[in-house]
Amino acid sequence: MLVVGVLVRWRAEILIVSLVVTARIWLGHEVGPVVAWLIFGGVTVVIVVIPPSRRFVYGRFWCIVDRHRLRTCLRQARARTMNLDGALPFMLWARPTKTGERVWLWTRAGSSSGDIEEALEYIAPACFARDARLHKVRKLSTLFAVDVIRRDPLDKSTPLDSPLGKLGSLLGARVQENAEPITGATVTPLPVKEKKTERPAVVNGDDLSDYID
């Protein structure tokens, strides 16, 4: 059981090393060791230079790091993250997102996602990230995910382009030159008439002004 757990945790590293060693041996037999190393160097340069491939490798790299760092953090955290048998949640898979990475977990009997939520303040520094959040699945309480936040797309020094502006430029909208700006209308206050002081109506010595509308 221990060997199976090690193979599951290190499956990505084992697969990458196996592919690299196999490709190196095969190329060495086909074109020679010097040309094989040149091919490996050229592939590495192409991956680094092309932005899509660089982002792909960069995102998968942090996914691998997050799985190992998250497991270490849950084991060392002061908050309770294991069940009474000392078993951690199953780490299913990790995927890159626009803000970082998302690691999916499956809780075992005797633990819940609330235990992991109490350890979020330890997860962020353990994964070298700025923040960590919990994503719950409403239909299944045993399945949840930890979102590792590394960047904020809205936190930029340059203003974001409006999609409406791009749509207007595609439709041929142009800002008219020498157009007068819209200003507020000038409001002239109306003169207030002063009320005339009326004399009280007195009949037989009685003031009837209160009874006259």
Mean pLDDT by 10 residues, the chain (213 residues): 76 90 89 88 91 92 92 85 83 90 90 87 91 89 92 66 63 54 65 59 57 53
| pLDDT value of residue 187 | 67
Do 111 and 81 form a contact (C-beta atoms < 8 A)?
A: yes
Dihedral of alpha carbons 155, 156, 159, 161, sign:
negative
| pLDDT value of residue 9 | 82
| pLDDT value of residue 189 | 72
In the DSSP assignment, the letter for residue 128 is: T
Question: Distance between CA atoms of 114 and 117, rounded to whole angstroms?
Answer: 5
Cβ neighbours of residue 114 closer than 8 Å, sequence gap 6 or more: none
Q: Tell me the Cα Rg of the chain.
A: 36
pTM over 0.95? The answer is: no
In the DSSP assignment, the letter for residue 185 is: P
